[in-house]
Amino acid sequence: MSSAPLSAEQTERYQGHLSLAEIGAEGQRRMLDSSALLVGVGGLGCPAAQYLAAAGIGKLGLLDDDIVERSNLQRQILFSVDDLGANKAEVAAACLARLNPDVELVPMVERLSASNAAGLIEGWDLIIDGSDNFATRYVVNDACVLAGAPLITGSIYQFEGQVTVVRSPLGPCYRCIFPAPPPEQAPCREAGVLASLPGVVGTILATEAIKLAAGAESSLVGRLLLIDVREASFRSVRVKRDRGCALCGEAPSIERPTAVAVCRARAD
């Protein structure tokens, strides 16, 4: 970690963190020296990226090969009508550059897959998974567990969301919690999603990433946080490592990120 003191501008910018005993100047310097890769710059990725940049994560990767569509604007808060047709990662990087010049922004116009996941996550201190499908979540989980990289992962559907943190071998991986993928859900524009739900869940993703980057522990290792904004409820369930897990169990058989077959749920 760099021992260089914070500049006067940084001291003023991050005063909210400097006043917290749990973060302070040391934790803020840790953040400025850290890097995080955000997989997906959509509903979850937009608020997560905004708070990570504001908090002073030193290097932020924005991985997404999608373009901005009009249907995204209901919930993906980094984009506007002026951005329609442009790449999400590049638009987000330009927007966040205006927010905090301390942050090195790395737009990555690629789609993560089983064949490139290991290379894409290499060299990043933290991975935040804001993807919108189960297949990608399993591949990201595999790559992070095999590389020993902390993973903060979340999902949303209609009025509900989930968040957990994977820090193998300290706790279970995504495959331990969900040994087999459920039927793939319809995308948000078909199934519906409350506009503010991604903000709630994406902010929690950023919160856990900030804690880890600052040198604190995450309380969501070994816990699955369940959010229901229709009922205004938050609850968490304990989840344990599966000794028979093919990825992180006692006799693992998965040696590289592996795609899973996911059935599409019926839209009706």
Structure tokens given for 33 = 């020296």
Q: How far apart are CA 21 and CA 241, in angstroms?
A: 32
Identify the active-site residue in 188, 245, 248, 263: 188
Query: Which residues, other chains included, contact 226 with Cβ-Cβ below 8 Å and sequence gap of 6+?
Result: 160, 161, 162, 234, 235, 236, 237
Please report, as a single letter, which amino acid is at residue 174: Y
- Dihedral in degrees, nearest 10, Cα atoms 129, 121, 151, 79: -30
Q: Which amino acid is it at 36?
A: A
Q: Is residue 95 among the annotated active site residues? A: no
H or E element at residue 163: strand 160-166
Query: Would you say 208 and 220 are in contact if contact means Cβ atoms under 8 Å apart?
Result: yes
Active site residues per annotation: 188
